[in-house]
Structure 1
């Protein structure tokens, strides 16, 4: 190691820019340790071994804690090691140590016990090694004990309380994870740059996009008894008003994990006004009420295990329509969903994961999937017994908002659907990133000439979710109280653009028209890219 320290270069590699460097550091540890959560403690470890550059550096936990707290100082050799880091990396380290890992006792416990929490716990145990524990049980128990006595837990709290003779923090492994994460972020940035090179046509913000939808009629609320649930499903049925065009299809719209019908009324309303009948499903057990129960500590975090029930919900609606219990116009069916709702639509269309998912997931979960959280849901399907589904002969198209499935269908042209698909995404989406979960997915599942990907620069995974308070200055009571970093830019404007793109897609499908080339638009402050299969393939190959 040189006098200036190779570690300085290694740590500098964590940051693409100063703000992103902070987000990487805090996001990595926060997401790692948030997924952690009984054995009673022996006594807290006094010394921490830090593995760095192949060396093992002993660090007194108390000194690290003293340094990590505001105004802290130390005269030990720890200062010498830390001085090898650049100023930004030192700042990130101390901010990370002070950052809250867990802030809600009840919800934290349920998250820690979920399938996704166990996967993250297993991964982080490779980075923070506590004696011979390879599964993260000691980390889990320590966090639970801390939560018994305090409402907030920081990284320093955890390090000070770990009951072990030997605690080793493998910074070499952490740096490798961060380096791979950095490469993934760079790929996303390269996508933004590539999209920015396309000349965009200026498109005026039409009156239809300016928020006039509040004057349209609301939905009917229809209970639907189903055999697989103890209570009837509560459906929202949006019937087109008189005078709208007569459409050949009707739409079933499915919210994502933790979503509610309220979140997608904007979309149902826009389709209703253009003549499409829409049924918006609820999915008890994986809806907003389930998230509310999670926040209260009353249930585990829902995951991919809810897919069989979601598919049964959809089948019940289709059977009600077929038997006349649910009367709606339209001969053909369009399946539409957000995130897990989109995956539900793809499974309902009859495609199943390619063989080898377990092997692909073992490799994928070797890395912490912090830039593609959908991989946790995809890999959980290894343990989920999926039902055998009947085909839907009247299926006309699929609209998948913030879709995912790259581990399920990894090969281009692997399982081509016979119906056209519209996949949408945003360049700020790190839950279902567009390179793998929209571009690659389109190439894997659809060669239909009307299929397309629509990407909006600055949009995120939650841009299609309309929450209470977005229309005005108030924030409302919605559980999805998300900051700009998660929602992305101008969510209402993104929703209006998506509504228009969905209408264009459905009208072209109805007319039997192919998508003729790609389109790049500048609408106000937003850039939108409508990509056909050829453009998606060229864009993917350029990365």
Structure 2
């Protein structure tokens, strides 16, 4: 994950750097020599050579000093570090993503800010620079991005200032929102100290079966991992896990094992049009897009089909007797969107067309993925599955896809976990408005601070800090999902008391603070920022 630097919001030069950091970076070819800033009748410029001299040697020319003297020495040091910080990227994925409909729309929006001379959208310059830079063995940094840009750069300063103000306002409003939640849970710290350790595995040993289900009607081969508890004689509650875009079944294997050790049967499936296999095929030029728009329909149908198949075969294959009339679903990102469809929300094309016609909000990239649904036929189709009795949504998106009226149709217990800083699914622009549309009584909003949208699986390439955030994320998910599904799927009377801000505060680990609001608290609180 790219490192983030908190730079001075009042320096246009620094904010320009921050903007580029959030978008893409590149490496040397044909150098841009000048960055032009124009606002109304005023114009000024920064030489790329001056920035490079400052970045590599710390020297500040007279021209650059005019701007840098407006920020503190500490901020200058951070800027210098940023300018030379290298970032690893996958060159093939970069090239392929920038040719998807989402990548094109994203860079066209950015190109309206980072232009070439004569007020021309900088899309092609941006794309060329990033693609070329991605092949560098040394990684990508900001100075190399400037030097690789095929022409001089002209910044659309009014648009940049507008974005800077939007970022600044978002940071302030997010901090204000988190502070308001902290006020409600301030007195909860001491409660729950003697609670069971739900982060540890339960009493049952777990076995895993890999099974294939073939849907002849839709010509989809659904590979699934089924985690089963051993030694239980009672009926087994079932949890289905729907993954995010480009993911494989192993992403949530720890979660599946954890739930199964407490007596649940857990099914994790690969969705053929948006899983890891599709991602690899996309990388190998077999598809123009990294996922099919039809996945908004096919993913929920995949889950309903697997539940049907399990019901038909369980008499012979599962002597423990799966309870397939009381099923829970855990959905991550696009999987959360899948879960909302199964819970009763239908695509609202009118709302989607209206939102997709607006200028792209760079703080909520998920809208680009939601707009892919406009490729579908305009037909009303309910994908609700009555067997789904509870939904755990982890950083989902669907505010525009479903709209307020459709989200209000979700009538099952729902826990909605989000992170405080997420440019893919913005807390204030995407998550909170969508959550506020829910009207069901048993709904819970969980906010984790300083944890990423992704990075839920550990890998050898992770830094120690990334490994720590991955561990914390999984720990929170294991505990929250267990308590939630025990309460609303297994209907275990011992667990609902743990779905409280008091208990959540007791498991929270600084600085990755965890906060929960539940129905009565939500009704008494204005979660819309003034």
SS in 1 for 2:247: coil
Match of 2:251 in 1: 263
SS in 2 for 1:523: helix
Matching residue within 347, 350, 353 for 2:347: 353
Deviations 1:108-140 (A, max 9, x none): 212322333222211221121113532612322
RMSD between superposed Cα atoms in Å: 4.1
Matching residue within 502, 507, 515 for 1:520: 502
2:331 counterpart of 1:337 = yes
Instruction: Tell me, in whole angstroms, the C-alpha distance in 2 between the residues paired with 1:293 and 1:99.
Output: 32
2:155 counterpart of 1:169 = yes
Deviations 1:400-441 (A, max 9, x none): 122222233453786322333222234455543444554432
Question: How far has the Cα of 1:524 moved from its partner?
Answer: 4.5
SS in 2 for 1:501: helix
Whether the aligned pair in 2 keeps the contact of 1:25 and 1:92 (CA below 8 Å) is no
Single out whichever of 412-421 and 130-139 deviates more from structure 2: 412-421
Whether the aligned pair in 2 keeps the contact of 1:427 and 1:434 (CA below 8 Å) is yes
Matching residue within 390, 404, 411 for 2:404: 411
Instruction: Tell me, in whole angstroms, the C-alpha distance in 1 between the residues paired with 2:50 and 2:449.
Output: 45
Deviations 1:330-381 (A, max 9, x none): 123333211111111112334223323233234361x312xx3433322333
Distance 1:50 1:490, change over 3 A: same
2:9 counterpart of 1:13 = yes
After the TM superposition, which residues 262-301 of structure 1 pair with which residues of structure 2 at under 5 Å, given as runs?
A: 262-290=250-278
Distance 1:496 1:344, change over 3 A: closer
Match of 2:36 in 1: 49
2:496 counterpart of 1:496 = no
Single out whichever of 57-66 and 174-183 deviates more from structure 2: 57-66
Match of 2:307 in 1: 318
Deviations 1:203-255 (A, max 9, x none): 136554242359621222112123478773221122343336535x5322112
Matching residue within 221, 225, 233 for 1:232: 221
Question: How far has the Cα of 1:277 moved from its partner?
Answer: 2.6
Match of 1:155 in 2: 142
Distance 1:55 1:101, change over 3 A: farther
Give the length in aligned residue pairs.
504
Unaligned runs of 5+ in 1: 1-10, 16-20, 469-474
SS in 1 for 2:43: strand
Match of 2:131 in 1: 144
Matching residue within 455, 458, 461 for 2:453: 461
Instruction: Tell me, in whole angstroms, the C-alpha distance in 2 between the residues paired with 1:401 and 1:222.
Output: 25
After the TM superposition, which residues 323-402 of structure 1 pair with which residues of structure 2 at under 5 Å, given as runs?
A: 323-324=312-313, 329-330=322-323, 331-354=325-348, 355-363=350-358, 365=360, 367-369=361-363, 372-384=364-376, 388-402=381-395
Distance 1:375 1:96, change over 3 A: farther
Distance 1:458 1:109, change over 3 A: closer
Matching residue within 1, 25, 29 for 2:20: 29
Whether the aligned pair in 1 keeps the contact of 2:397 and 2:425 (CA below 8 Å) is yes
After the TM superposition, which residues 173-184 of structure 1 pair with which residues of structure 2 at under 5 Å, given as runs?
A: 173-184=159-170
SS in 1 for 2:358: helix
SS in 2 for 1:163: coil
SS in 1 for 2:191: strand
Question: How far has the Cα of 1:185 moved from its partner?
Answer: 1.9
- Normalising by structure 1, report the TM-score: 0.78
Deviations 1:277-316 (A, max 9, x none): 3221122453345556677888777357343442342243
Question: How far has the Cα of 1:177 moved from its partner?
Answer: 0.9
Distance 1:260 1:541, change over 3 A: same
Question: How far has the Cα of 1:168 moved from its partner?
Answer: 0.8
Instruction: Tell me, in whole angstroms, the C-alpha distance in 1 between the residues paired with 2:221 and 2:487.
Output: 33
Instruction: Tell me, in whole angstroms, the C-alpha distance in 2 between the residues paired with 1:144 and 1:259.
Output: 24
- Normalising by structure 2, report the TM-score: 0.79
Matching residue within 206, 211, 215 for 1:222: 211
Question: How far has the Cα of 1:161 moved from its partner?
Answer: 3.6
Instruction: Tell me, in whole angstroms, the C-alpha distance in 2 between the residues paired with 1:275 and 1:59.
Output: 63
Single out whichever of 289-298 and 417-426 deviates more from structure 2: 289-298
Instruction: Tell me, in whole angstroms, the C-alpha distance in 1 between the residues paired with 2:238 and 2:138.
Output: 48
2:433 counterpart of 1:440 = yes
Instruction: Tell me, in whole angstroms, the C-alpha distance in 1 between the residues paired with 2:18 and 2:254.
Output: 32
SS in 2 for 1:118: helix
Question: How far has the Cα of 1:272 moved from its partner?
Answer: 2.7
Distance 1:124 1:97, change over 3 A: farther
Instruction: Tell me, in whole angstroms, the C-alpha distance in 1 between the residues paired with 2:366 and 2:47.
Output: 38
